[in-house]
Structures are given as C-alpha cells and as structure tokens.
Amino acid sequence: MILSSASPATLALAASSLAAMLAYALSAWTDEASGRRLRWALPLGWAAHALALLLDIAGLGSPLAGARFGFAPALSMTCWLVLSVYLVESRFLPLPGVRRVLAVLAALACALAWGFPGESRPLAASPWAPLHWVLGLASYGLFGVAVLHAAMWNRAERQLRDKKVAAVSGAATTGMPLLRLERLTFQFVAAGVTVLSLAILLGWWFTPHWRWDHKTLLSVLGWLVLTGLLTGRQVLGWRGRRATRWLYFGAALLLLAYAGSRFVLEVLLQRPLAG
C-alpha cells in the first residue's frame, strides 16, 4: 500500500482517495429522495477522484521520475470517464437507478487504484506514446458509457415485454425511450471505435518492432468485434440482444487486453511493465 510512505504527495493521494470513496459511498447509500438533497455528494466524489488520479498517474511522491500507470489506474480512469458522461447526461435526460451503480463502481475502482498504483514509466518508447495511452483510455471510457446505455436498453426492453410492469407503469422505468437509448448506445460505440482505431494505428506507427502479445491480440480482436457490430447494424440491421451481446463481448476483450493482462503481470507474476 502507498500509505507506507509519509511524503506530502502520498498523504494528498490518500486524502483525495478517501474523500472520493466516502462521497461515493454517501451517494450510493441514499435513496432517490435523499439523493436529491445530497446531490453534491457525487460531484464531490468525482472531483476528489480526479485529484487522486492526477496525483497517482503523475507519480508524485514516487522515488522514480516519470508517469506511473497500471491496470488499477486504467480501471479507475475508465470509471471516472463514465461518471463524467453521466453527470452531464443526467442533467438533460432521466437516468434513474444508474447513480447508485456508478457510485459503487467508482468507489471500488478508486480503492483498487489506491492499493495498486501501478509502476513508474521513466522513459516512453516514443514521444507519441502518451497520446497512444490517452486515446486508449478515452476509448475505454466511451465503450464503458456504451455498455451502460446498452444495459439500460436491455432492461427497458425486458420491462416492456413484461405485461405486469407495463400495466402498472405504462412505460419502461428507465425514463428514456427505447429508440433514444439505442441511438445513444451506437453513437458511443462509433465514437469508441474511432478513438480505438487511432490508438491502434498510433501504436503500430511508433512501435519499432510490432509484437503480437496478449494485449495487442485482444485489442485487435476487440476492435474487429466492435467494428463488426457497427457493420452489422448498418448492413443487417442488428438490434436488441444480438447487438448488445456483440458490444459486451467486444468490451470484455478490450478489458482483458490492457487491464486483464496488466493485472496478471503486476499482481500475479509481479513482472515490470513492458508497455
């Protein structure tokens, strides 16, 4: 744990991480009525989470100079990006039931990043490497948002098929029309595929010796699955469960590509990061 050091940067990281987790817990444990009164809890957690990510990834307090990164900060950054989209979108669209789930996931991701801050990267393989990492993380966030909307889409479809729920409520309890959920889901998938394509091309361009390791293979497979989803949508008119299954599968491949492979290297094998 990074609490073994008492440097000011380490204390600041601990304080911001604890503040984020406490604010997220408060937001998750309140009901809808209390949530309206305590609406400040989630934005406060989001801001403290951002500070924790900045302190962690910048490597402040680390004995080695340079950025610090790993599987846990990647997951934490992904949750933070998804939460960022939610905070904006929830101001314009009804998203009941999502706040608690995101607050719990963000708190867990923040705790995981605090416990596993990653390893320092004093030297990048190329001056383009930071942009490659940023694009990769952005695609993680976009696909995370797409998965969130796909889950709401699936839930709304199930509720509409349930005659009892439809008779009581008269509409899906997500508060959003199915067509809007479907459109938003594919918009985020398309944006994620575009950003991921740029990340893969940039990585191929600046890497002197292209390696088909686990990360590369799973990333390309995930890209193929998600590109196939968009093609099936346009050409074959894929909708409903078939479309969301492709999305879940592609997102799972991407999750395994970086976070999964780095978890094995950092935690199970305890080997230094290679890229």
- The per-residue pLDDT for range 199-219, each reduced to its tens digit, is 888 877 766 666 777 778 888
- In order, the DSSP letters of 154-171 are HHHHHHHH-HHHHHHHSS
Q: Tell me the average pLDDT across 81-100.
A: 85
pLDDT at 168: 52
pLDDT at 240: 82
Residue 176 pLDDT > 70? no
- The per-residue pLDDT for range 217-242, each reduced to its tens digit, is 888 999 999 999 999 988 888 888 88
Q: Tell me the average pLDDT across 142-148.
A: 93
Mean pLDDT, the chain, integer: 80
pLDDT at 98: 85
* Nearest-angstrom CA–CA distance, 128 and 52: 25
pLDDT at 129: 64
Counting residues of the chain whose pLDDT is more than 90, the rounded percentage is: 34
pLDDT at 90: 84
Highest mean pLDDT among 91-95, 107-111, 126-130, 202-206: 107-111
Total number of residues shown for the chain: 275
Closest CA to 142 of 77, 237, 50: 77
Q: Tell me the average pLDDT across 4-9.
A: 61
Q: Tell me the average pLDDT across 52-72.
A: 73
**pTM of the full structure:** 0.79
Question: Which of the residue ranges 59-68, 124-133, 160-169, 191-200 would you say has the lowest mean pLDDT?
Answer: 160-169
Q: Tell me the average pLDDT across 187-195.
A: 94
pLDDT at 171: 45
* Nearest-angstrom CA–CA distance, 115 and 117: 6
